[in-house]
Structures are given as C-alpha cells and as structure tokens.
Amino acid sequence: MPTKQFLTLATASFTAAVLLSGCGKEAPKALTYQADIKPILDQHCVECHKEGGSGTEKSGLLMDTYAATMRGTRFGPVVIPGQSINSTLYRLISNKADPSLRMPHDKAPLPDETVSKIKDWIDQGAKEQ
C-alpha cells in the first residue's frame, strides 16, 4: 500500500534526522591554548619538553609556550591547525603511532577525554586564545 510505504519512509528519515542532529551536540566550546591546552601540556609534557629536558634534547620540541609548541621539532611543526590527523603531537598521544614513540614517553597514556580535547583544539584551528 503506497500510503503506508510513504509513512514508513517519512518516519525513517525523521528518525535519521533526529539521530544526526543529536550526534552533533550543541556547538562545541571553542578551545584555546591558554585556557585548555597549556594546563595539559604543563602537567604531562613539559617536564621532558623544556630547556634541557630529554624530549627537547632529542627532538628539539619545546612545549613551555604556545610559540614553541607551534614551532615543533627541529624537523618541523607537530601541530597542523585544522588537521589533527596530520599532527604528530596528536598522533603520538592517541595510539596512532608506534608504541615505542607514544607520548608521554614511558608513562601512562593520557585519559581519552584529554586526548579528544587536544584533537578538538587542533581541529578548531589550534588557537592561542
């Protein structure tokens, strides 16, 4: 019966629309280096990625300021604004790299919500403030 078929279809697409909009959450809070990311790096990364730290000695990556973090290693940037997936910094904390390279080095991985905060920050453009 065509009417019934139409109704079923209409219901299905309505449900899909509700599900899709539900997934999008509300507009995510804009994340900034100063407010959201610096405290994470200070707590988990800076002890090795500071002047004289093992991470800085080996890779050149300093993470004590925004400018230094964005400058990256001696080979280039580790944060590509808008592209978490191409950002070494994100890849190394999210299990997308060889375990021997995972950051923080020789320590427990960061909690999932911290990792996704860093991912969202990069995807939102890696803003300073």
Give me the residues that bind ligand HEC (CB under 6 A), please: 44-45, 47-49, 54-55, 58-59, 61, 73, 78, 88-89, 92-93, 101, 103-107, 110
- Residue 107 CA to residue 102 CA, distance in Å, equals 9
Measured CA to CA, the distance from residue 81 to residue 124 in angstroms comes to: 7
Closest alpha carbon to 93 in 77, 81, 80, 109: 109
Closest approach, Cβ 129 to ligand HEC, in A, equals 20
Our CB check for ligand HEC shows the closer of 60 and 124 to be 60
CA distance 72 to 83: 15
- Pick from 33, 42, 23: nearest CA to 70: 33
Contact 33, 42 (CB under 8 A): no
Give the span between the Cα atoms of 8 and 5, in whole angstroms.
Answer: 5
State in angstroms the smallest separation of the CB of 93 from ligand HEC.
5
Q: Which is nearer to ligand HEC, 18 or 73 (CB)?
A: 73
Looking at the Cβ atoms of 106 and 112, the one nearer to ligand HEC is 106
Residue 40 C-beta: closest distance to ligand HEC, Å: 7
Shortest CB 117 distance to ligand HEC, Å = 12
Q: Which is nearer to ligand HEC, 26 or 106 (CB)?
A: 106
